Amino acid sequence: MKVTIKSWTGVATWRWIANDDNCGICRMPFDSCCPDCKLPGDECPLVWGACSHCFHIHCIVKWLHSQPQQQCPMCRQDWKFNNK
Amino acid sequence: MSGIAKTSVLVEEGGNQCRKRSNISASSDQCSKRSKFDDMSSNEKKSNFSMLNPNVNGTIKMTTSSMNKPGATTKKLVIKNFKSKPNLPENYQETTWSKLREAVIAIQTSKAIAYSLEELYQAVENMCSHKMASQLYVNLTNLVEAHVKSNIEQFLSESMDRQVFLKRMDDCWRAHCRQMIMIRSIFLYLDRTYVLQNPSIHSIWDMGLDLFRHHIAMNTLIQTRTVDGLLTLIERERGGDAVDISLLKSLLRMLSDLQIYQDAFEHKFLQATERLYCAEGQRLMRELAVPQYLAHVEKRLREENERLLHYLDPCTKWQLIHTVERQLLSEHVSGVLSKGLESLMDGPRLRDLATLYSLFSRVKDGLTELCSHFNAYIKKKGRTIVIEPERDKTMVAELLEFKEQLDNVVSTCFQRNDRFLYSMREAFEHFINQRQNKPAELIAKFVDLKLRAGNKEATEEELERLLDKIMVLFRFIHGKDVFEAFYKKDLAKRLLVGKSASVDAEKSMLSKLKQECGGGFTCKLEGMFKDMELSKDINITYKQHLSASSECGGLELSVYILTMGFWPTYAAVEVRLPGELTRHQEHFAKFYLAKHSGRKLQWQATLGHCVLRAHFTQGNKELQVSLFQALVLLLFNDGDNLSFEDIKTATNIEEGELRRTLQSLACGKARVLMKTPRGRDVQDRDHFAFNADFTNKLFRIKINQIQMKETSEEQKATEERVFQDRQYQIDAAIVRVMKMRKALSHNLLISELYNQLKFPVKPADLKKRIESLIDRDYMERDKDNPNQYNYVA
Ligand SMILES: [Zn+2]
Ligand SMILES: [Zn+2]
Ligand SMILES: [Zn+2]
């Protein structure tokens, strides 16, 4: 062997696995956080519904609190959290 | 006799100080002892002798007219005298007066007085006591008038040298004052009884002045000759000739004492001044450079002030100085500025600028004009710095220097005047935005250069000061998002390649930006720093995870995990990794995603780098290389002579990138590959072999990746991203405003947007975005009012 690798510093970018670019509630892109947060990441995670729509967790929680029925704002199906 | 001697000594010095001297003689021991008037207040004494008190003026005129018809007064007094004192010798009044008359004439003709002063004082007192004061006063007046009249002739001859004339006038005036002082001291009793009791009667001193004024100074020919002579003398003195200053001073004091200074002299003098400086200003503005001209004006003002000190009456001051300022400065304000300001500023000639400022602050609108020319100068000069692409390399350094120079001028020459500071800021903001985007980009790059490792030109304090200065320039930039885009790109490089000179300096710059533009501006930049810290934690836990499981030994992998939204956008590049690297990469991804669900990772091959162990015949080395360089070198473990095409297929690195990579390995400073045929550029047909004989005195060798020159395309791409981002920000702002207001007219919406948006934008662009949002059903046009929008929930 003429050359072997001693160490490797890699770089990777992460983004949410989402079915849309923007949150359907706050309309901010998923690459940034909800309007109430400062930085995207673990402090402002996304959640998925059984209907497969996803939102900022802060957005859907607020939405559900404001509604008499627990429905997905996009498809009006009953909202159930899908723990991926 | 001693009394005479004393009096003549006192008056010898001349007429100029007659007022002062008369006080002395009046209050001197001998005088007061003899005349027994110790109880007189000094105020009363003064008002008797001073001609400068304007109240006296009115009295003079009144009495002058009453003296013109003395007959009535005389008769009345004569009758009274005889009634009260009948026992005087019959010719007492006549003989006594002739004695006094003789003495006065002796004084007027500079002869010795035949009687002792004691005797004369007594004579005056006796006459006054016997009600002869009025007649005595009339007689004395006539005597003085006759003498003054006899002096007229000498001033009326056809032709006379001006200097001789003035000298003669001065002699005549001084003699008059001298004589009147002596006469007054003899007739002091009259002054202090009869004159005091009759407010309409002049004091003896004033009576003398009045006669002198009436017969000599107010004579048209004599007055014209005197004033013209004085003006000629002053003109010569202004021209630089040495003239008899004391003569000037004495004669001007004469005019003041006679109360004709303003009417007879001042007006003509100011006219002459105006003419002189009008012509001089015009001539010198043509002949002299501005600094010399300003120095000349300063000199002229100084000289005129000295003139006021040395011979002019102080009451002329305001008008005189104002006249000079008007003719030499006010008339030439814009001339001086357009002719000279630019070169003074370019110098910068600080002393001349300070002179300019102090002179212009004397005249109306002087500073306003200076300020507006200063402003125009900054805009013009600044524009040349930012507008020409050839000067881009030095633009920021030049701007910093320019700003510093202007600061210096304003603080040392313009007294830190707020108006100038404000104007300077306005001008900077104006010219720096004359060119779109470029100044913002270059300022960002300038900061990068200073924050990059290896910048040894500054200590930490110096760097801090420099960053502060940069922030001043940054403040003027309208397109701050352009700055942010370029700054972010460079910051990413510094962080990922470990090229940042100091974390403290980075954080300091970040806090400056935050202070200037608010948290919204820096939150992504802060996010980048946060990613770096989180990555450090992740790598520690990953290492612990590895040592626990003993999987994936061999190479040591650490990964920077970047949050997509914070960092610049990197094009996804797919390259072929050797199995070992793929295995490590997948292992890490599995570890990471298990901890962070709902995410996906995108590997950025262009940003990775490695440390390789390389075995050469001369010994082992450690090579610090980019991932691409590593991928190429690893190929030589299995083959020896590889073509460009072979390498391209094996690694799948993009052609241009590969060419630069091979160039760095085979044509750079550390040639670990050998290229055939030799040459600087990498051609498609070239072949490469491992250079087993490679030598280098160092053990660790960094092989720099040849940086692609930042092409105009890459630049455009960054600008394009800024543009895209602006569109998005406009949309977001419109939605935000509409959501809050529900309904809003077009104009109100536009003005709200201008308040919120931090970058330059045209109304037409805003309109386009509104249309687009209407199309996408975020809002709608009101059905009844087309100028109003409604929010669609
Ligand atoms: Zn949301
Ligand atoms: Zn949130
Ligand atoms: Zn749904």
- The H or E element that residue B528 is part of is helix B519-549
- Cis upstream peptide for B760 (omega within 30°): no
**Looking at the domain assignment, is residue A30 inside a domain?**
yes
**Looking at the domain assignment, is residue A11 inside a domain?**
no
Contact state of B612 with A11 under an 8 Å Cβ cutoff: no
Interface mutation vs chain A, best among B514, B591, B599, B606, most A CBs within 10 Å: B599
Contact state of A39 with B614 under an 8 Å Cβ cutoff: no
Q: How close is the nearest chain A Cα to the Cα of B789, in Å?
A: 20
Of residues B600, B623, B636, nearest to A17 (C-beta): B600
- Rounded to whole angstroms, how far apart are CA atoms B745 and B788? 4
Q: How close is the nearest chain B Cα to the Cα of A27, in Å?
A: 9
Q: What average pLDDT does the segment B766-787 reach?
A: 88
Q: Has residue B22 got a pLDDT over 70?
A: no
B135-139, B345-349, B380-384, B494-498: segment of lowest average pLDDT: B494-498
Contact state of B558 with A14 under an 8 Å Cβ cutoff: no
User: Domain limits at A49?
Assistant: 16-83
- Rounded to whole angstroms, how far apart are CA atoms B683 and A28? 48
| CA dihedral of residues B285, B286, B288, B291 (deg, nearest 10) | 40
Asked if B221 and B159 count as a contact pair (C-beta separation under 8 A), the reply is no
Q: Has residue B48 got a pLDDT over 50?
A: no
Residues with CB under 5 A from ligand 3 (ion): A 51, 53, 72, 74-75
Q: Has residue B660 got a pLDDT over 70?
A: yes
Which residues on B lie below 8 Å from A20 (Cβ)?
none
- Number of helical H runs and strand E runs in chain B: 35, 11
Q: How close is the nearest chain A Cα to the Cα of B710, in Å?
A: 22
CATH number of domain containing A21: 3.30.40.10
Query: What tokens appear for B287 in the block?
Result: 């002949």
Dist. CA B193 → ligand 3 center (Å): 122
- Rounded to whole angstroms, how far apart are CA atoms B357 and B329? 12
Question: Within 13 Å of residue A5, how many CA atoms lie on the same side as its CB?
Answer: 30
Tell me if residue B47 falls in helix, strand or coil. helix
Question: Within 13 Å of residue B453, how many CA atoms lie on the same side as its CB?
Answer: 9
- Helices B333-346 and B267-287 cross at an angle (nearest 10°) of 40
Dist. CA A33 → ligand 1 center (Å): 7
Contact state of A12 with B580 under an 8 Å Cβ cutoff: no
Through-space distance between the first and last CA atoms of chain A, rounded to whole angstroms: 44
**Looking at the domain assignment, is residue A28 inside a domain?**
yes
Most confident of the ranges B375-379, B570-574, B614-618, B653-657: B375-379
- Helices B438-451 and B503-517 cross at an angle (nearest 10°) of 150
Q: How many domains does chain A have?
A: 1
Asked if A9 and B558 count as a contact pair (C-beta separation under 8 A), the reply is yes
Of the pLDDT bands very low, low, confident and very high (cuts 50, 70, 90), residue B27 is very low
Q: Return the closest-CA partner of residue B447 out of B463, B428, B431.
A: B463
Q: Cα separations (Å) of B680 from B427, B640, B660, B665, B675?
A: 49, 21, 11, 11, 10
Residue B263: DSSP 8-state: I
**Looking at the domain assignment, is residue A57 inside a domain?**
yes
Of the pLDDT bands very low, low, confident and very high (cuts 50, 70, 90), residue B550 is low
- Rounded to whole angstroms, how far apart are CA atoms B514 and B511? 5
Contact state of A32 with B608 under an 8 Å Cβ cutoff: no
Q: Has residue B257 got a pLDDT over 60?
A: yes
Residue A29: DSSP 8-state: B
- Rounded to whole angstroms, how far apart are CA atoms B447 and B469? 11
The answer to whether the predicted template modeling score (pTM) of the entire model surpasses 0.95 is no
Of residues A2, A28, A38, nearest to B636 (C-beta): A2
**Looking at the domain assignment, is residue A4 inside a domain?**
no
Of residues B581, B589, B637, nearest to A8 (C-beta): B581
Q: What average pLDDT does the segment B558-584 reach?
A: 89
Question: Percent of chain B beyond pLDDT 70?
Answer: 87
Ramachandran area for residue B657 (φ above 0: left; ψ -120 to 50: alpha; else beta): alpha
Handedness of CA A4, A10, A16, A18 (dihedral sign): negative
**Looking at the domain assignment, is residue A2 inside a domain?**
no
Contact state of A6 with B610 under an 8 Å Cβ cutoff: yes
User: What is the structure's pLDDT at B138?
Assistant: 93
ipTM of the complex: 0.90
Q: Has residue B298 got a pLDDT over 80?
A: yes
**Looking at the domain assignment, is residue A45 inside a domain?**
yes
Dist. CA A39 → ligand 2 center (Å): 8
Q: Cα separations (Å) of B497 from B500, B535, B608, B789?
A: 8, 14, 9, 50
User: What is the structure's pLDDT at B37?
Assistant: 39
Asked if B107 and B113 count as a contact pair (C-beta separation under 8 A), the reply is yes
- Rounded to whole angstroms, how far apart are CA atoms B620 and A16? 44
Q: Return the closest-CA partner of residue B281 out of B338, B327, B322, B337.
A: B327
Of residues B559, B615, B636, nearest to A10 (C-beta): B559
Q: How close is the nearest chain A Cα to the Cα of B526, in Å?
A: 9
Dist. CA B479 → ligand 1 center (Å): 28
State the pairing for strand pair B687-690/B673-676. antiparallel
Asked if B196 and B44 count as a contact pair (C-beta separation under 8 A), the reply is yes
Interface size between A and B, measured as CB pairs under 8 A:
143
Residue B562: DSSP 8-state: E
Q: Has residue B248 got a pLDDT over 90?
A: yes
**Looking at the domain assignment, is residue A73 inside a domain?**
yes
